[in-house]
Every structure is written in C-alpha cells, then in structure tokens.
Amino acid sequence: MKKEIKFSLVFRDMWQSAGKYVPRVDQLVKVAPAIVEMGCFARVETNGGGFEQVNLLFGENPNKAVREWTKPFHKAGIQTHMLDRALNGLRMSPVPADVRKLFYKVKKAQGTDITRTFCGLNDVRNIIPSITYAKEAGMISQCSLCITHSPIHTVEYYTNMALKLIKAGADEICIKDMAGIGRPVSLGKIVANIKAAHPDIPVQYHSHAGPGFNMASILEVCEAGCDYIDVGMEPLSWGTGHADLLSVQAMLKDAGFQVPEINMEAYMKVRALVQEFMDDFLGLYISPKNRLMNSLLIAPGLPGGMMGSLMADLETNLESINKYKAKRNLPFMTQDQLLIKLFNEVAYVWPRVGYPPLVTPFSQYVKNLSMMNVIAMEKGKERWGMIADDIWDMLLGKAGKLPGELAPEIIEKAEREGRKFFTGNPQENYPDALDKYRKLMKENKWELGEDDEELFEYAMHPAQYEAYQSGKAKEDFLEDVEKRRAERDKSPLDDAKPKTLTVQVDGQAYRVTVAYGDIDLPASATEMVTAPVGEGQDVPAPLEGKFFLTKNAQETPLKVGDKVEKGDLLCYIEAMKTYNAIRADFGGTVTAICVNSGDSISEDDVLMKIG
C-alpha cells in the first residue's frame, strides 16, 4: 500500500471559479455540518481573496461570516485554510505593512489555521514577510508556487523558488496550478525535487480542470510524494472548477494510495444544498459555459478562479462594443467571438508584459489590458491606449520583479509618459496606514471591532467597507439580484413592451418611449428632461463600471470649484476589479460632479463638467 493522501475541499474557490459570488453566512453555516459529516476532509478552504469583499458587497459583515464558518470545522478537528495574496493581502492592490501584520492576527483570532500565501509574480521578497507575520500570529505558513507554462517557468525555476521559501521558514509548500496548464510530468518532477531536499515538508496540490490536464497531474504529483490534494464536488466541479472528489478518490485508490472513505449520504446532502444556494440567487451569476472544459484555455493560461467572473465581465464589454457598432451600422459581435478575440489577445500581450504568472491580480491585469486592447481595436483605435495605474505598477516593478522582459513599445510608452521604473523592495511604495484608518473610524463613530477586525476590514477594502456601512452595498446587490431574476423569468412578449429611455439630441436630453409595433402613446411619453447642472465641457466615461472619486483614504476627493489642469487625476472607474484612473484632457474649474461614488455608469455617461 502506498502513502496516505489527504483531501482538502476548496469550498470558497469552487464558487469563485463558477461565478461572481459565494454563499451568504446563513448558507455557509447550513452546509458546514454536512461537509463535516462527509468524513473525508482533512482540510477545508473557508475564506480569503474575494470571499471577504463578496460579503461586503452583500451588505454582510465578513468578519462575522468567517467566525461562524470556521467554527464547525474546528470542533470536528478539520483544519481551515485561506488564500492570501502576499503584498496584496486580500485585495487586488498592494497593502501597507502594518495592515498586512494585522491581517494574520485577525484571521487567526477568527479561526483560520493555515494561510496559503502567493505572489502573483512569484517574487519571494513579497512572500517572505508573510511567513514571519503568519508565524507570529500562530498560523501555519503555506507558501505557493504559482504554476504557469512559458520558456522562463521551468522545473528548475520552481524547485529553486520552493527551496528559497523553505529556507525562509515556510512550513508547507502549495503547488498552485491556478490555470490547470501545468504539464503533469513537470509537476511531478517539481514535487519530487522538493521532497528529495525536504521529505518532512508537506506539499499540497491545487489545480483547475479547465484545460484537461489536472487528473493526470494529480496522479503524477501523488506518485512524487504529494501529501494533500485540493478537490471540488458536484454541482461545481470540473469545467473552470476543480476535479471532483469522487473521481480523484477512485483514481488514487486504484493506484494503491491510502485515501479516506466518503459518506455518500452526506455527499448528496452537500450537493443538494449547493444546488439550493444556486437556485436561490447564486446561479444568477454563474455562466453555463463555466461547466465546460476547454482546451483553448491552454494558450491564454487564464486561471479557473478568474473565469467565473470573466464571463460576467464579457456581458458588459460586449454591450459596450455593440453600442459602438450599432451607431455605425456595423455587424454585432457575439460573446463567443469576443471570447476568442480576448484569448488571442492575452496570448499576444502576456509575453510582451514580462510573463507574469496568470494569477490574481496579475491575471486580471493581463486580461483587462487585453480586453481594453480588443475594445480599442474594435473601435478603430490602437493597442495600449488605456492602462490602469495598478497595471502600470506591475509594469514598472512597483509590485515586484517581472519574470521576463517588457516589450520595447511598453518601455517607450512609459518613458514618453514620464513614468519611472522601480527596482527596490515593493513594500517601500506603500507606507503604513492603520493610524489614518483609526482616525477615520473614530470620526465616523465606527467600532474597531473584536481583535481590531473592523479596522482591518476598512483598511483592506476602504471603498467596499464604506458602501457596506452606508447600506448602499446591500441596496445595490438586492437591486441587481431582482434585475437578474426578472431577466431570467421574463416571457418573450416582454421584449415587445414599451420602454422608456433618455436620449440626447443636439445636446438636449429627452425622455422617449420605444416599442415594437403600433401603440398609442400618452402625451407625456415624450418630454424634455431638465437637470440643473453646471456649465462647462463634459468629461465622458471611457468605459463602463463603477464611479469612485478616490480609491483609498490617502486621496482627497475632487469637489465642485476645484481647479484642474490637463493630466490631473479626476476620479476612477472600477471595472473588472481594477481601478482605472480618469485624467483631465483639458484644464479648468470643476462645475459639476454628475454621479455619486459607487454608482454604476455606462460608457459615455457624463462624469463631471469642467468650465
């Protein structure tokens, strides 16, 4: 009989790989006992990454969610683990060192045992501080190798990285095959090399099913000495998700490994509950195409965890492109056509931006940059026109060292815009911020929370936390759920009903009713819309998303009466998890701010006026 292989259920990632949201806290508490009852899991992934932000978007307190969710597993002796983005903590952008330190203290107090730390650039300088912070807080430090496939990312590259992390104090190593494009034999060699040097260091393998390699990869890494395998389960396994527990257990049992038995009655109970949550509202955010495996994913190498939200993003981007085409009587594009164009553009962009491993946030950066290029080219413009500040930070080295070299056209663009490359320690770019957030919370009369967890939440996710506290997050979420339910349940006849729209003619706004066929319209169906706004030139939105005047507490929001010069920062549009800086094309005085922070806006909506 071969060695024992233990299973870890990646419950958070199951949802993130399928769609936009994870279950609410009441749903999590409902399913946890049934997961325990299955009797086959040594570990369960309970939180991390988008999980925390998702609770804020619901209008729920994520700290309460984590405490309630981890409790049943602790009672059963099951370890809990979470995702941690090193320099980026739990968000898309870098985090000050004092916030990072507080992160581990809070999560340990809330009941999380293991922190799975990764850097999206595989820069060990970003990971090593997290090892110290985790251990000081009493957590197990599991450090990740972000697996991708390129001329740079070889077996030797990953072996050396693992050895450096173990030398720095890592308790465990995770082979994080986030896109499932690691080649099975190479992955087996990486695990064998780690085990040869450090036989007592536990190794855990995480992979997505999408491109089709991961069952072979699981077998290879187990043969090489892997200790834990991450699995998913129906109805959220396979596709952009993970290999199913039942298949992995059967395969490894046949290969002679010791594997735990599964309580099938409890398996079916969990399966039914997951389906119940999908039927409630979570399925509204899950594209049916995410259930499919697709070998086209091999070339772009996009991670499974991102594919869930990608399909939702495509809807918005497709609408933007087709609005442009409609105005010019051009043929509309389909979602499949856009997806293929995006995959091709990712394959073009990736080597030119230095081969960053395609994992959060850098997978989103490469995808967003590729999407902006596709949109620009579909609208007759050139590549590289819209590069968000966070993406520039990656390109300039502020987030860590890129594995490869930048293309000459990117370097030339940076120099043309006066941007400076950075070669120091990335953490130096992000000064401590907790005192500022403490002051803001005192001013707002907000509690710091048990173990300073509310302070941590605000410092980690400022915009989302403010929307949560104001009630706007819950209001927007419920409104979106109802809109999606109505869209799902509508009859074909609904499309023929009259619709009221606002249109502009020669700069003047009119409210009009549009319908198919002959209908009798009331006299009020067409009326002029008047809105008191300041005089001046419009600042239109270059893309769709959410409007924010600032992205953190360090920035001072622009207000009416402020003077701006060409090139000054005006505001941000958050799209596809990235804050895109909007700068002035001309100087003057701000005479009107036409939308509120957190509002959803469409391309060409007027954000403000400058006179």
How many angstroms separate the CA atoms of 269 and 100, rounded? 38
Q: Would you call 596 exposed, middle or buried from its count of C-beta atoms within 10 A (0-12, 13-18, 19+)?
A: exposed
Both structure tokens of 31: 């399913």
* Exposed e or buried b per residue across 398-435, where buried means at least 16 C-beta atoms within 10 angstroms of its C-beta: bbbbbbbebeeebeebbeeeeeeebeeebbebbeebbe
Q: Residue 505: pLDDT above 90? A: no
Domain 6-291: homologous superfamily in CATH: Aldolase class I (3.20.20.70)
Strand 527-528 to 508-514 pairing: antiparallel
If you average pLDDT over residues 78-92, what whole number do you get? Answer: 93
Burial class of residue 275 in the structure, from the number of CB atoms within 10 Å of its CB (0-12 exposed, 13-18 middle, 19+ buried): middle
Alpha carbons 10 and 46: distance in angstroms, whole number: 8
Please give the single-letter amino acid code of residue 132: T
Residue 309 pLDDT > 70, yes or no?
no
Q: Which residue has the higher pLDDT, 594 or 576?
A: 594
Confidence of residue 480 (pLDDT cuts 50, 70, 90): confident
Contact of 3 with 257, CB cutoff 8 Å: yes
Q: pLDDT band for 308, please (50, 70, 90 cuts).
A: low
Confidence of residue 242 (pLDDT cuts 50, 70, 90): very high
CA 146 – CA 362 distance, rounded (Å): 11
pLDDT band at 307 (very low <50, low <70, confident <90, very high): low
Identify the residue with better confidence: 140 or 49.
140
Model confidence band, residue 428 (pLDDT cutoffs 50, 70, 90): very high
Q: Are 144 and 176 in contact (CB under 8 A)?
A: yes
- In tens, the pLDDT along 190-241 reads 999 999 999 999 999 999 998 999 999 999 999 999 999 999 999 999 998 9
Cβ-based neighbour number of residue 40 at 10 Å: 18
Q: What are the structural domain ranges in the chain?
A: 6-291, 295-429, 492-531, 533-611
List C-alpha distances in Å: 587 to 109, 221, 342, 475, 611: 50, 59, 35, 36, 8
Fold classification of 533-611 is OB fold (Dihydrolipoamide Acetyltransferase, E2P) (2.40.50)
CA distances to 76, 84, 247, 289 from 274, in Å: 21, 25, 19, 18
The Cα 376–Cα 43 span in angstroms is 45
Q: What are phi and psi of 261, to 5 degrees?
A: -80, 155
Of residues 314 and 241, which shows the higher confidence score?
A: 241
Per-residue pLDDT at 519: 46
Residues pairing with 204 in the sheet: 174, 228
Burial of 97 (0-12, 13-18, 19+ CB in 10 A): middle
C-alpha neighbours within 13 Å on the C-beta side of residue 30: 14
Q: Is the peptide bond before 235 cis (omega within 30 degrees of 0)?
A: yes
Which pLDDT belongs to residue 136?
Answer: 97
Torsion angles phi and psi, residue 160, rounded to 5:
-60, -40
Maximum pairwise Cα distance, the chain: 83
- Strand, helix or coil for residue 229: strand
Residues 543 and 313: beta-carbon distance below 8 Å: no
In terms of Cα–Cα distance, which of 191, 197, 261, 196 is closest to 219? Answer: 191
Question: Got the DSSP string for 156-216?
Answer: HHHHHHHHHHHHTT-SEEEEEETTS-S-HHHHHHHHHHHHHH-TTS-EEEEE--TTS-HHH
Backbone angles phi, psi at 400, to 5 degrees: 140, 175
Return all residues near 365 (Cβ < 8 A) that are at least 6 apart: 356, 388, 390, 391, 394, 578
Strands 79-84 and 114-117: parallel
Strand blocks (E) in 484-525: 499-505, 508-514
- What is the pLDDT at residue 321? 84
Question: What does the mean pLDDT of the chain come to?
Answer: 87
Backbone angles phi, psi at 63, to 5 degrees: -65, -40
pLDDT bin (cut points 50, 70, 90) of residue 186 is very high
Tokens of 83: 């995702």
Cβ-proximal residues to 482 (8 Å cutoff; 6+ apart), any chain: none
Q: How confident is the model at residue 55 (pLDDT cuts 50, 70, 90)?
A: low
Separation of alpha carbons 92 and 353, rounded Å? 18
Please tell me the least confidently modeled range out of 364-378, 449-463, 499-513, 546-560: 499-513
Average pLDDT (553-570) is 87
DSSP string, 209-222: -TTS-HHHHHHHHH
| Nearest alpha-carbon partner for 285 in 484, 576, 473 | 484
Percent of the chain with pLDDT over 90: 56
pLDDT at 524 (0 to 100): 43
242 CB neighbour count, 10 Å cutoff: 30
Q: Per-residue pLDDT averaged across 94-122, rounded?
A: 96
Name which of 233, 239, 231 is nearest 271 in CA terms: 233
Comparing 190-199, 214-223, 318-327, 366-375, the range with the smallest average pLDDT is 318-327
**What average pLDDT score do residues 390-409 get?**
93
CA distance linking residue 32 with residue 30, whole number of Å? 6
Per-residue pLDDT at 497: 56
Q: Which of 48-62, 180-194, 479-493 has the lowest mean pLDDT?
A: 48-62
Q: What is the pLDDT of residue 512?
A: 53
- Residue 104 CB partners (closer than 8 Å, separation 6+): 115, 130, 133, 134, 136, 137, 139
How far is the C-alpha of 69 from the C-alpha of 49, rounded, in Å?
A: 15
**437 pLDDT exceeds 70?**
yes
Question: What's CA 551's distance to the chain center, in Å?
Answer: 17
Quote the pLDDT of residue 535: 81
